[in-house]
Structure 1
C-alpha cells in the first residue's frame, strides 16, 4: 500500500478547520461563562428589536416600581401623622370634658393642654420625609405651617381660618403605569386639620372657658374627629391603589424579563456538552496535523 505525500495542502486545510473550531469554542466558552448568546445586540438578528423593546419595557416598569415605592413610603408616613392628629383631638376632648365640671382647675388644665397640643399639631403638619414637607402641597421645601401670627388671639369657633398654611393647593400624585396616576396627597389646610387648628387656637388663647365655650369647642372637636378619620381612610385607599399598581408593574417586569431571557440566554448544560465535543474534535485535528507534518520524503524512502 502506498501513501501520497502532499503535506502542505493537507496541513493548510486542517489548520484552517482547527482555527474555525477554536473560534467556535471561544464563542461557546463566552456563552458558558455569561449565560448569554452574545454580548452584542447586533448578533441577535431578527430578534434584536424584540430584545430592545423588552429591555425598554423592563426599565420603564422599574421606574414605575421605584416611584410607587417612594410614594407608598410617603403615604405611610402621612397616614401615621394623621393618626397623631387623631390622638391630639382625643386628648383635647378629654381635657375639655374634664373642664365641664366648671372647676377653675379643669379649665386651666384644658387651656394649658390646648397650648401644648397646638405646638404638637404644628410639628405634625410640618412632618418631613426624605427632606420634603409632606403637607404643603407642591411647596415641599418650605414648612407647611407657621403659627407665629395664627396663634395670637382666640379667633372664632365658627369661622374657618387657614392663615397658618404656607403651602399651595397642589396634591401629590404618582404615576404607576402609562395610563394610571394615583393622587395621594393631603394638605395642611384640609378642612379636617383646619378644624383641629381652629379649636386648639380658641381654647389655647382663652383667658377662661364658659360652659357654652366648652360645649361649642367639643362640638367642633367631634366634627374634626370624624373628618380626620375620613382623611385617614382616603390615604389608606390611595396606599392600596399604589400597592396594586406596583404589584402589576412587578409582575409585568418579571414577565418581560422572562421573555428577554428566553431570547438572549443559552442552555449552559448544552453549551458545555458542545464544548466537550469540539474539544475532542480539536484534539483529533491537532493529532492529525502533527502526524502529517512529521511526514517527509526521507522518512517515506527509509
Structure 2
C-alpha cells in the first residue's frame, strides 16, 4: 500500500500523457498511410462543410461537362452532314446550269433529282448514339419520309414540309447553373426544305419539250437552299466553338475544385512525417519515464 500511495498520482498523470501521445501518433500514422487528413467527414471538423460543398459542385460540373461534350460531338456530326448536303447541292446545281444552257434531257434530270432526294434524306436522317439528330425531340424515328413528297403542280412552288415527321423543339444543353445553349436543327428548317423541294421538282420535270419554267424554278430554289445551308453550317460552327469554350471552362473549374478538395482532405506528407517523428520521440520518452516511476517506492525514502 505504501508503494501504491507513493507513485499513484504521478503514474496516473504520466500514463494519461503517454496515452494522449500514443493516440496522436496512431492518428498521424494513419494519415501517413492513407494520405488523408481524416477517414470520415465527421473527423474533419470545420473542414467538412467546405469539402462537401466543393464535392457537390464537382459532381454537378462533371455532369455539365459530359453533356457539353456529347452536344459538341452531335453538333460536329450535324455540321458534317450539312456540309455533305452543300456538296450534293453544289454538284446538282452545276448539272442544272448545264441543262439550262443546252436544254438537257428531262430523263437525266429526273434521275438526278431522285438520286439527290435519296442522298439528302440519308444526311437528314443522321443517327448518332440511337438518336436522330435532325428530328427535334422526336429522336426515336427518322425525321424525313421521302414517300410523302408529292409532285409539284404549280410554279413558283410553295414551301412544303409534309415529309417531316419530327417536331419543332430544338435540342439544348445546360453548361452551367445560369446558361443553356440551344444547338438543335430540324429537318424542316428552311435550307433542308428548299433542298428537298429542288430535288423533287427535278425528279418530276416534264419532257417533250423540257419544262423550262420548272427547270428555272429548280435552279432558283436550289440556289436559295445552298445559301441557307451555308448559313446553317456557319451557325453550327459558331455553336461548336461556344461548346468547346464552355468545355474548357468546365475543365478549369474541375481542376480548381479538385485542388480545393485535395487541400482539405489530403494530408501534407512532409509535415505528417515530421510530426510522426516528434510523437515517436515523445512516446519513447514517456514510456521510459513511466517505467522509472513504476519502480519508485516510498519505503526507499523512509
Residue in structure 2 matched with residue 119 of structure 1 by the alignment: 118
**In the aligned structure 1, how far is the partner of 2:211 from the partner of 2:86?**
25
Q: 2:146 is paired with a residue of what secondary structure?
A: coil
Deviation at 1:13? 4.6
CA distance 1:174–1:108, shift in 2 (3 Å): same
**In the aligned structure 1, how far is the partner of 2:174 from the partner of 2:54?**
20
CA distance 1:121–1:197, shift in 2 (3 Å): same
**In the aligned structure 2, how far is the partner of 1:127 from the partner of 1:145?**
10
Query: Which region of structure 1 is more displaced relative to structure 2, 123-132 or 248-257?
Result: 248-257
Residue in structure 1 matched with residue 201 of structure 2 by the alignment: 202
Alignment of 1:48-67 (within 5 A): 48-67=48-67
Query: What TM-score does the superposition give when structure 2 sets the normalisation length?
Result: 0.86
Q: 2:163 is paired with a residue of what secondary structure?
A: coil
Figure out how many residues of one structure are paired with residues of the other and give that number.
Answer: 292
**In the aligned structure 1, how far is the partner of 2:250 from the partner of 2:153?**
49
State whether residues 6 and 296 of structure 2, in contact with CA within 8 Å, keep that contact through their aligned partners in structure 1.
no
State whether residues 154 and 203 of structure 1, in contact with CA within 8 Å, keep that contact through their aligned partners in structure 2.
no
**In the aligned structure 1, how far is the partner of 2:262 from the partner of 2:82?**
45
Q: CA RMSD in A?
A: 2.6
Query: What TM-score does the superposition give when structure 1 sets the normalisation length?
Result: 0.86
Residue in structure 1 matched with residue 217 of structure 2 by the alignment: 216
Q: 1:182 is paired with a residue of what secondary structure?
A: strand
**In the aligned structure 1, how far is the partner of 2:237 from the partner of 2:175?**
16
Residue in structure 1 matched with residue 172 of structure 2 by the alignment: 173
**In the aligned structure 2, how far is the partner of 1:28 from the partner of 1:82?**
62
Query: Which region of structure 1 is more displaced relative to structure 2, 93-102 or 169-178?
Result: 93-102
State whether residues 205 and 211 of structure 2, in contact with CA within 8 Å, keep that contact through their aligned partners in structure 1.
no
CA deviations over 1:51-81 (Å, ceiling 9, x no partner): 2222222222222211211111111111111
Q: 2:39 is paired with a residue of what secondary structure?
A: coil
Residue in structure 2 matched with residue 102 of structure 1 by the alignment: 103
**In the aligned structure 1, how far is the partner of 2:98 from the partner of 2:288?**
103
CA deviations over 1:69-125 (Å, ceiling 9, x no partner): 111111111111111111121121122223231243xx4333222211211111111
Query: Which region of structure 1 is more displaced relative to structure 2, 232-241 or 153-162?
Result: 153-162
State whether residues 154 and 206 of structure 1, in contact with CA within 8 Å, keep that contact through their aligned partners in structure 2.
no
State whether residues 95 and 109 of structure 1, in contact with CA within 8 Å, keep that contact through their aligned partners in structure 2.
no
**In the aligned structure 2, how far is the partner of 1:134 from the partner of 1:246?**
21
Q: 1:167 is paired with a residue of what secondary structure?
A: coil
CA deviations over 1:157-186 (Å, ceiling 9, x no partner): 521110100011001111111111111111
Structure 2 unaligned regions, length at least 5: none
Q: 1:148 is paired with a residue of what secondary structure?
A: helix
Deviation at 1:11? 5.4
Q: 2:151 is paired with a residue of what secondary structure?
A: coil
**In the aligned structure 2, how far is the partner of 1:214 from the partner of 1:205?**
10
**In the aligned structure 1, how far is the partner of 2:50 from the partner of 2:5?**
54
Residue in structure 2 matched with residue 230 of structure 1 by the alignment: 231
Alignment of 1:63-78 (within 5 A): 63-78=63-78
CA distance 1:175–1:165, shift in 2 (3 Å): same
Deviation at 1:15? 4.3
**In the aligned structure 2, how far is the partner of 1:30 from the partner of 1:117?**
70
**In the aligned structure 1, how far is the partner of 2:261 from the partner of 2:255?**
10
Query: Which region of structure 1 is more displaced relative to structure 2, 129-138 or 255-264?
Result: 255-264
**In the aligned structure 2, how far is the partner of 1:287 from the partner of 1:98?**
106
CA distance 1:291–1:165, shift in 2 (3 Å): same
